[in-house]
Structure 1
Amino acid sequence: MSVVLSVSGSPSPTSRTGRLLRHLDARLASLGHEVLPLDIRTVPAEALLGADFKHPAIVEATELFARADGIVVGTPVYKASYSGVLKALLDLLPQYALAGKTVLPLATGGTTAHVLAIDYALRPVLTSMGATHVVPGWFTLDKDIVVGDDGGLTIAPAAAEGLGQVVDTFSAALGRPAVLAAVG
């Protein structure tokens, strides 16, 4: 069984991005993975903005990244890039915190104009941090994620199908030896 760290880079407690990640966590768990959720918005702002590497929340986040075999990184897209809180956390992790890891980048946003944020903003950072394999990511439009009055999540069928495919690809990549993942 692989350990998967599921990181929500949204600063909002009512974020569609966060809810989508928690929904996908259940799918990953059903595929046999141990899933550890991390909502960056719960990390104290003074630790992130003050670059307090020794703050207990930063130490704990660093340990979660080290423990994981795979990382799912989800972010809302703001001004054609990933969120500032995600950037702040990534900046505080060791340079090669993703070495040996398989990573699935996900993004949400209001318009398809931001779909390339995964490949042009997020993927280069993940790669520079040593990720062994960054699988193809997925961008979901905000309008395709509906939160019901009961807190339940409904995802538009086409988006749900695409998300299912990338999660399954990520899960399969976690099962491959690191040497194959590096070239595959």
Structure 2
Amino acid sequence: MTKVTIIAGGHSVQSRLTGVLQHVKHRLTLNGIDVHIIQVHQLPSDALIGADFSNEDIVKAIGLVNESDGVIVLTPVYKASFSGILKTFLDLLPQKAFQGKPVLPCVLGGTYGHLLVIEYALKPIIHQLGATAVQSGVYVVDHQVTKQDSDSYVLDLDATNRLNLALSQYQSLIGGTAHVAHP
């Protein structure tokens, strides 16, 4: 079975980023892909900051990336770049951790003014980690994600369509096209 790891660089599971994460996970699992999620903020902070490569949780998270056929990097925009939480984890990955793995960057920001964070901040790090098949990425604006009373989220039609298109293209890169579901 095809395995994809989503590296979520948000600071809370109660944020709009979770809405994007839930959508991406649902679409991939619907198409028969085994999805693993690394919520970086839930890893031990002292192990992240201290680069403790022997920490059991860090070892397990790095193992998920290593065992995956593809990676999705999901981050909010902070101060015109991706989150520091995400950068801290990416710094712990082996130098070529993304080699041979298609990577899809997904970013959630407050305005379209930070759209280029994908190209100028996130993609250079992804390439540095050995990725050669990097999609153009998907940028979602905060107001396109609405939290429901039940702790679930609804994405507007534009965000949904762009994510679904990117995920269909991504699945063709990882070999998961046999069961692609359509909206």
- TM-score when normalising by structure 1: 0.92
Letter in 1 for 2:78: Y
Match of 2:46 in 1: 46
Residue 7 of structure 2: aligned partner: 7
Identity, % of aligned pairs? 39
Give the RMSD, CA atoms, in angstroms: 1.1
- Which of structures 1 and 2 has the larger relative contact order (alpha carbons within 8 angstroms, sep 6+)? 2
Report what 1:125 is aligned to: 125
CA distance in 2, matches of 1:18, 1:121: 21
Following superposition, the deviation at residue 43 of structure 1 comes to 0.3
Query: Is 1:18–1:39's contact at 8 Å kept on the other side of the alignment?
Result: no
Q: Is 1:77–1:83's contact at 8 Å kept on the other side of the alignment?
A: yes
Paired amino acid for 1:7: I
Q: Which residue in the other structure is 2:150 paired with?
A: 150
Partner of residue 163, structure 2: 163
Structure-2 separation of matches of 1:152 and 1:139: 20
> Once superposed, which parts of structure 1, at least 4 consecutive aligned residues long, lie more than 2 Å away?
none
Q: 3-state DSSP class of the match of 1:146?
A: strand
Paired positions, count = 176
Task: State the partner residue of 1:29.
Answer: 29
Q: Is this contact kept in 2: 1:18–1:74, CA < 8 A?
A: no
What residue identity is the alignment partner of 1:42? Q
The answer as to whether partners of 1:10 and 1:40 remain within 8 angstroms in 2 is yes
**Match runs of 1:85-124 below 5 Å:** 85-124=85-124
Residue 18 of structure 1 and its aligned partner are, at CA, apart by 2.6
Unaligned segments of structure 2, at least 5 residues: 177-183
Question: Structure 2: how far apart are the matches of 1:51 and 1:91?
Answer: 8
